[in-house]
Amino acid sequence: MKGLRVIGDYAAEFLVITLLVAASALSVIFLVPVLVGVTGYFSKELDARRFKDIFTTIGKNWKVIVFYTIFQLIIIVVPVLNIYFFNTHPEKTNNFVLAISVIALLFGTIYLATSPTVIVNMNVKFGQLLYNGFMMLFGSLWRSIISVLLLLGIVALTLSYPYVLVLTLYIVPMIISKLMKENFYKLKAKALNLSVEQLKRKEKEDDYLDEKGAVKPADIHFEEAESSADESDGDKAASEDADKADVEEQSEPDGVIAETSEDIVKADVAEQNATMADAAEDVDGQSKADSVISDAAEEPDEVDAEEQNATMADASEDIVKADIDEQSEAGASNTESSGSAQNE
């Protein structure tokens, strides 16, 4: 099922890209912008690219595309018309004009192969586009030669067998975009002192992470998730079996972790109980000490009370004795006075 889905994706791409490039070629003026958009489309993987990427690429780079389109119309379309005219009217052939047209067509073909990749992957102005487009050839000469030959083959088909051209409008842009992207990677990796593999890995990480290292929300991730949900029942069963195997492998470590957690909890409970017992013993010790202190405090109080009672008793006895002595003395004095009075 997955293979059929991939075949269906390529078939849909072939149909849409072929019709779009053919319609733009008939209009002439829209051919260059559409080729740039198609290059941006093919720069992504099959599961990640969407047809809207074509128009998104054109919209993001419309300023440089305007100047690039004018340049290509002059350097390609005019030479092609001259060559076609001379082929159909050999008696009017002008060798000088023909030579200039061939040279201009060669340079135009080179920039048609290299410049779309530069526009898609770099933020450049028109002058920078011409320089970097030419430098793209040196990323790999054999890839550059293949790309240029493919475009020259399309030009030859346009001049001689235009009805066969429809078969090349999808495959040729896709091959050229892949070859030029590899050239771009090689030149950029050399400038950054990295390998091509390291550069691709870093670029893939940058697609998922922002500047702070956090995962970026992107519609493409959700679209990929939705496409993966369309897998066959066999693939789903295989993935479920793999998940079960992973769960079984993880069950033993989970059991060990659970037992370890229980031991830790038991140890914590035992420690808490021991702490509470020690605290209870401390409380009992403190209560005993308080009782001893209170007993010690009560004994001095009782001794003091007994001493005070004895002292008060002695004082009261002394007072009573003093009163009795005073009364006896007073009675004696009174008796004496009364006896003297009677004698008189």
Quick: pLDDT tens for 54-112.
Answer: 999 999 999 999 999 999 999 988 888 888 788 777 888 788 888 899 899 899 999 99
Let me know if residue 76 belongs to a domain. Answer: yes
Let me know if residue 226 belongs to a domain. Answer: no
What span, in angstroms and rounded, lies between the C-alpha atoms of 133 and 135?
Answer: 6
Query: What range defines the domain where residue 124 resides?
Result: 2-193
Let me know if residue 313 belongs to a domain. Answer: yes
Exposure b/e, 277-302, CB count within 10 A at least 16 = b: eeeeeeeeeeeeeeeeeeeeeeeeee
Would you state the pLDDT for residue 37? 96
38-42, long-range: CB < 8 A, 24+ apart: 38/116, 38/173, 38/177, 39/116, 39/117, 39/119, 39/120, 39/173, 39/176, 39/177, 39/180, 40/116, 40/120, 41/17, 42/173, 42/174, 42/177, 42/178
Q: 30 and 121 share a domain?
A: yes
Q: 188 and 259 share a domain?
A: no
Helix (H) or strand (E) holding 25: helix 2-27
pLDDT digits (tens, 9 = 90+) for 21-37: 999 988 889 999 999 99
Q: Which residues contact 116 (CB under 8 A, 6 or more apart)?
A: 35, 36, 38, 39, 40, 177, 180
Q: 36 and 165 share a domain?
A: yes
Q: 78 and 171 share a domain?
A: yes
Considering its fold, how many domains does the chain have in total? 2
Best CA proximity match to 37, nearest among 158, 177, 194: 177
Q: 48 and 161 share a domain?
A: yes
Phi and psi based region of residue 322 (left: phi greater than 0; alpha: psi -120 to 50; beta: remaining): alpha
Let me know if residue 14 belongs to a domain. Answer: yes
Let me know if residue 200 belongs to a domain. Answer: no
Would you state the pLDDT for residue 273? 60
Let me know if residue 183 belongs to a domain. Answer: yes
Q: 159 and 260 share a domain?
A: no
Q: 69 and 184 share a domain?
A: yes
Listing DSSP states for 122-169 in one string gives ----HHHHHHHHHHGGGG-HHHHHHHHHHHHHHHHHHHH-GGGGGGTT
Whether the Cβ atoms of residue 28 and residue 73 lie closer than 8 Å to each other: yes
Q: 181 and 273 share a domain?
A: no
Would you state the pLDDT for residue 248? 52
The tens place of each residue's pLDDT in the chain, 344 residues long, gives 778 888 898 999 999 999 999 999 888 899 999 999 999 999 988 888 999 999 999 999 999 999 999 999 999 888 888 887 887 778 887 888 888 998 998 999 999 999 999 999 999 999 999 999 999 999 888 999 999 899 888 878 877 777 778 888 999 999 999 999 999 999 999 989 988 888 888 877 776 554 454 555 544 444 444 444 444 445 555 555 555 555 454 444 444 444 444 554 454 555 566 556 555 555 454 444 444 344 444 444 444 445 555 555 554 455 545 555 555 554 444 444 444 433 33
| Other Cβ atoms closer than 10 A to 116 | 30
Place of tokens 């004698």: 343
Q: Which of 193, 216, 236 is the last residue of a domain?
A: 193
Let me know if residue 43 belongs to a domain. Answer: yes
Q: 255 and 110 share a domain?
A: no
Let me know if residue 69 belongs to a domain. Answer: yes
